Amino acid sequence: MELFWYIVLMAMLTIYVILDGYDFGAGIIHLFYAKKEKDKKAIRNAIGPFWDANEVWLIAVGGVLFFAFPTLYASSFSGFYLPLIMILWLLIFRAIGLELRGQIHNKIWEAIWDKAFGIASLLLALFFGIALGNVVRGVNLGMVTNGVSAHEPHFFFLPLWNSTFSPHAEHLGIIDWFTLLLGIIGVVALAIHGANWIIFKTNSDLNQKLKQVVFNLNIVLLILVIISLFSWHIIDPKPFHNFVKYPWLWIFPIITFSGLFGLFKIKSFKKDGFGFLFSTLFLFGGLASTVSSIFPNLLPSTNMVNPSLTVYNAAAHEYGLSVGVYWFVIAAVLVAIYMVIQYRVFNGKMDDVGYGEH
């Protein structure tokens, strides 16, 4: 049952990144490339009917984490307390930036909320990438100092950064050069994803320009991914041991690079949705490759005193996990019905939706 709920948790997290990821990316595009009002309107229309439903997946991920892996939930929400609060505020500002912007037709008012929406989207993409970097790198479980554990084996707390900015420091920070690298990858990847969604869902005048933006950013993304793969060896001497042990896992890196290289053909796609498909493949493959490489760890320990939190030692009791399956099936069916209706109702281009206008 632990493995079943682990797959469910990772699947829901991946769905969240893909769906809310294009919202973040659209916000980044809105911040840097939407200069005219009609372009800003097109971007808001593209994500308007979807963004709040997409955010619900994050709440669902938290609920499954609390239910299935309570030890990990307790450890993470105390250890990552400061960045989680910052993410909460950024989610709020992104939302009110969309909702309040159209309440008053004043250029200063609109400019303030445009910036709130764009900057919050950019920082959310950065912070979620940094969060992934923290999971890959691991944390000092038990707050071990000089070989002595100062707290319970699953407890830790991280400041935003430490003076060394190193992923090998005894007392780590949220941000170091390795986690920041993954954060930048997150920003670039989601900007590409958001641009592809705008191209897919609108006939905006920006679309031709965005195809060039996607092509250019994809070059940057390829370089950053290659750098991250080499950097991973500095964090973990054997980062691909699971791929050697289970060769079928190579399907995920293949999917990742298929999506990455497919995006270089963005200018020649005859259908607007192909770009979004390839950026989705990259995000799915990248996340699946990452979690496959650290399995069965959920949160690696950087010390030799306390063990890593794994799928098996952080899970709830077998009985609770078994009973939860029935409720999960009911919820999954309801969510599937909702999403089918939502995406059918808002099928096609969204230029005439008029989201946020008052």
Mean pLDDT of 86-109: 88
Question: What pLDDT score was predicted for residue 26?
Answer: 95
Residue pair 132/98 in contact (Cβ under 8 Å)? The answer is no
| Residue 237: count of CB within 10 angstroms of its CB | 8
Helices marked H in 140-272: 177-201, 207-235, 241-245, 251-262
Residues 6+ apart with CB under 8 A from 170: 140, 144, 145
Q: What is the average pLDDT value for the chain, to the nearest integer?
A: 91
Distance from C-alpha of 339 to C-alpha of 97, rounded to nearest angstrom: 25
Mean pLDDT score, 85-109: 88
Q: Are 159 and 172 in contact (CB under 8 A)?
A: no
DSSP 4-61: HHHHHHHHHHHHHHHHHHHHHHHHHHHHHT--SHHHHHHHHHHHTTTHHHHHHHHHHH
pLDDT score, position 187 = 97
Distance CA 227, CA 244 (A): 21
pLDDT at 87 exceeding the cut of 80: yes
Q: Among 137-141, 166-170, 288-292, which is the least confidently predicted range?
A: 166-170
Residue % of the chain over a pLDDT of 70: 99
Rounded CA separation 107/43 (Å): 18
Evaluate whether 127 touches 174 at the Cβ level (below 8 Å). Answer: no
pLDDT at residue 239 in the model: 84
Cα gap 31→114, rounded to integer Å:
7
